[in-house]
Amino acid sequence: MYPHISYLAQSYFHQDFDLEAETPLGAVQVFRDGESADTVEALRAEIVALLESEPTEEALANVWLDEAGADYDPRFEGVALRDWLRSMAETLATEK
């Protein structure tokens, strides 16, 4: 349902993602800097659309962790999924 979120989660938030970036948002920056502008914008738009649908935290966790298959759960660091997704969208919108 969210192919770009799944691509990010599986390709950049795998079990050893912390070896490729110092922080989770650093992994998003690696994605932003390494992928085409179209792919980056498609992911950002997908995240924005997801957030605009006003899902519950549980639904967001289902999308990010279960459907997309991310190995990173921001809630372990005290960050709500909604805030994590907003931070990702903001990071994707910034210049390389």
What is the per-residue pLDDT for 96? 67
What contacts 24+ positions apart, CB below 8 Å, involve 46-50? 46/2, 46/3, 46/4, 46/5, 47/5, 47/85, 47/88, 47/89, 47/92, 48/89, 50/2, 50/5, 50/85
Give the model confidence (pLDDT) of 22-57 as tens digits: 999 999 999 999 999 999 999 999 999 999 999 999
Share of the chain above pLDDT 70, in %: 99
pTM of the predicted protein model: 0.92
Give the model confidence (pLDDT) of 64-87 as tens digits: 999 999 999 999 999 999 999 999
